[in-house]
Amino acid sequence: MIKQKINVKYLISLGVSVLLAFLVGAVILLCTGHSPLEAYGAMFSGAFSASRHIGDVLEYAMVLGICGLACDLGSRVGIFNVGGEGQLLLGAIAAAQVGAALNGVSAWIVIPLAALAAIAAAALFALIPGVLKVKLKVNEVITTIMLNTVAASLCQYLAKGPWKSSNKNLIAATEQLNVRYWFGGLMRGSNLSTAIFAAAIIAFLVWYVMQKTTIGYEMKLTGQNPRFARFSGMRIDRKIIVCMAISGAMCGLVGMFRVYGAEHLYRSSVSNDYYFEGLMVAMIARYQPLATILLSLFFAVLKIGAEGLQQVGVPNQIYLIIQTVIIFFMAAQGGFLEALTQRRDLKQILKAGKGAK
């Protein structure tokens, strides 16, 4: 009963935020001399106008979804992984290099090894902030953000130096993968590949573990009140570290999917702050896995549709404006709703009296 009430409140606030964001976008469009109706029309029809667009929508939704779920997983045990971008890049380059180094070996061997390499590289990298948080109480937001730069620089170095492609035209990229290793394309002309099936399985598993299992229950309590979880005998340190590693591994796999499914080599365009966009989706979804997946689809439509906007002469940055304004209004409403409930709580506390003690 209570759960439903929260959901209704959430849906209303989401709906209002989206509406307001489109209104703000419309005002900006009007100011810059575009017709909002035309632009929005082009945006939505753009996303569905051709099968390759639909394919791109699904591919982008996959990236957002897995990144968002990685963020959900961390937040469930009370850790905020802001370092997914770096973990993604490391996973991508590790997988790309495995494919390049083992050129000629059977795909049945290369692809699992590449996946393992992506998982290992990203998970190990994610362990650093996890262990620092648990052992030394170092704030993970700071460490993960900083490590993004470390990872990006490291990848850049590897792609320009030791692992550089033999193709002189590519300045910072690894060797292109043998076509035998490419994930099969699903919609002609789009980036969509069979990786989406693997992503669907991962998404289901994450949702299932978080929502339906006993370990998911323990994770939730750990995130809600770590002191209580420890008091009750749960091993919270281990949970935080493991969840951080899995969160990193998921990001690493997204990197691998981008390389084997779309880019076919490592270069910095495997991710264009995709993790941060996924993180924003997770935030809008209040870290709920199902909502994260659904909202990933919605934002993928906006993003890919916005690319079609350029054809009608509207800069596609309008997408970013709309996304950030939604977050802004969600946060503002969240704060507003919280302020209301807090006031209520405060009153209840005053009312319940100083009888305590």
Residues that bind another protein (CB under 8 A): 1-3, 212-218, 220-221, 224-225, 227-235, 344, 347-348, 350-357
Determine the longest span between alpha carbons in the chain, in angstroms.
77
Q: What are phi and psi of 186, to 5 degrees?
A: -110, -35
Of 282, 289, 251, 298, residue with least CA distance to 120 = 251
Minimum gap (Å) between residue 223 Cβ and another protein = 9
- Rounded CA separation 271/175 (Å): 17
Least distance (Å) between residue 134 CB and another protein = 13
Question: Between residues 135 and 212, which has the closer beta carbon with respect to another protein?
Answer: 212
By beta-carbon proximity to another protein, the closer residue of 38 and 218 is 218
**Least distance in Å: CB of 326 to another protein?**
25
- Torsional class of 353: left (φ above 0), alpha (ψ -120 to 50), beta (otherwise): left
- Kindly state the smallest distance separating residue 347's Cβ from another protein, in Å: 5
Q: What is the CA radius of gyration of the chain?
A: 22
Residue 37 or 290 having the CB closest to another protein: 290
Instruction: Report, in Å, the least distance between residue 76 CB and another protein.
Output: 12
| CB nearer to another protein: pick between 229 and 245 | 229
The residues, ordered by sequence, that sit 6+ positions from 155 with a Cβ below 8 Å of its Cβ are: 89, 90, 92, 93, 266, 268
The count of C-alpha atoms lying within 13 angstroms of the C-alpha of 268, restricted to the half-sphere facing its C-beta, is: 15
**Tokens matching residue 98:** 């495995």
**Nearest residue to 87 (alpha-carbon basis) of 171, 177, 160, 149:** 149
Distances in Å between the Cα of 329 and the Cα atoms of 17, 238, 278, 345 are 5, 36, 18, 23
Q: Which two tokens stand for residue 277?
A: 């966009």
Contacts of 10 (CB under 8 A, 6+ apart): 286, 291
Nearer to another protein, 109 or 352 (CB): 352
Instruction: Give the shortest CB-286-to-another protein separation in angstroms.
Output: 12
Residue 356 CB, shortest distance to another protein, in Å, is: 3
Nearer to another protein, 180 or 235 (CB): 235
Nearer to another protein, 197 or 228 (CB): 228
